[in-house]
Structure 1
């Protein structure tokens, strides 16, 4: 995987589109592979208690998958939901519905910017997973995610970013205000161009590539584009 080209924002989108439309791979399968691979990385670090901060898109969906696999491994895990439930759609909604049925604790912070109970939830975790914003970010995070990023950065827990630290531009490596400061980043398919920029170095931490089951033929097609 290390010799693969870097995956830009547009190429990341192309992977999802081609997987569904040409290679007949439902997005929920890619999300499952991404979440499970990320969970395995964290389980190897023996977390005692995990808080997963989830935004409205597929990045949040990856977080829901991670929560299920951590729970299966016997690791205490809770979801901090940072968007209204009605904004969760598609593959992310499938996995959110599974979590609800499984009884994994979901804490609702959708309508709060600076919330004492969110800070208390952070204090109870030794690891925080950033599954708030993904590679589509091209502007500063908005509330309540902006405040959540600030509180996560101020907490003592170690931080794992999913695909990219929330607030970081994946192509340019520009950190918007605010941006998650991660101890390590589990990124999908291959690394991103912005990660190699000096401006991104304080935010990404160690970068680990998680394969999500995309065929080699698909990747060759994307990298040629």
Structure 2
């Protein structure tokens, strides 16, 4: 997937923030297929979290009540997620900062109210087992039995092997970006994927044929 992104950016001149916009809007479109009044967005590190911010903005603009909990301090965000985080604040959303500590009471309240959880905690770049508070957040979401839409990959799954890295979200829908991930073929991944939707985020089509190993 990173190969696709790099080619789109470097060879074809597609801005990285446009790829993020396309990814987040694709997730919002899929989310709108459900009857929604309240959506909970969980945004983590890296571009996956930024995709979640974009999805939150699109849903908010369509009149849906959106709560955003973020798990990386804005000062540590990459440029594109930080831009989209600032936009959320500019349009009147009040993202909840969980980068230092989780407001568990508020999170449980918003989880109970939600019709859908958008999982944008971890993407394909996850390189070590999930632990600490985020693993507890994942367990809380799974135990709630709420409908979950995962951005690109259920958080906690290894994109190459499909193995659970400490803890993993059990998604009802996975909106995977550009291409399905190799790990999706593994039997161990299938209980976590739900229905897989492949979203076109404007990678030039010839790249898709050459990106996999």
Question: How far 1:112 sits from its partner (Å)?
Answer: 2.0
CA RMSD of aligned residues (A): 1.5
Q: Which moved more, 1:84-93 or 1:19-28?
A: 84-93
CA distance in structure 2 between the aligned counterparts of 1:59 and 1:130, rounded to whole angstroms: 9
Report what 1:42 is aligned to: 31
Contact 1:114 1:147 in 2 (8 A): no
- The equivalences for 1:144-223 within 5 A come to 144-223=133-212
Report what 1:72 is aligned to: 61
TM-superposition CA deviations, 1:115-139 (whole Å, max 9, x none): 2222122112121110000011132
Q: Which moved more, 1:159-168 or 1:101-110?
A: 101-110
| TM-score, length-scaled by structure 2 | 0.94
CA distance in structure 2 between the aligned counterparts of 1:211 and 1:205, rounded to whole angstroms: 19
- Of 105, 115, 127, which residue of structure 1 is paired with 2:116? 127
Report what 2:132 is aligned to: 143
Does 2:62 correspond to 1:82?
Answer: no
Structure 1: gaps of 5 or more residues = 1-11
Report what 1:6 is aligned to: none
Contact 1:67 1:79 in 2 (8 A): yes
Structure 2: gaps of 5 or more residues = none
CA distance in structure 2 between the aligned counterparts of 1:164 and 1:220, rounded to whole angstroms: 20
Report what 1:23 is aligned to: 12
CA distance in structure 1 between the aligned counterparts of 2:98 and 2:198, rounded to whole angstroms: 30
- SS at 1:208 equivalent: strand
Aligned residue pairs total 213
Question: How far 1:16 sits from its partner (Å)?
Answer: 1.5
CA distance in structure 2 between the aligned counterparts of 1:138 and 1:202, rounded to whole angstroms: 21
| TM-score, length-scaled by structure 1 | 0.90
Report what 1:9 is aligned to: none
Report what 1:58 is aligned to: 47
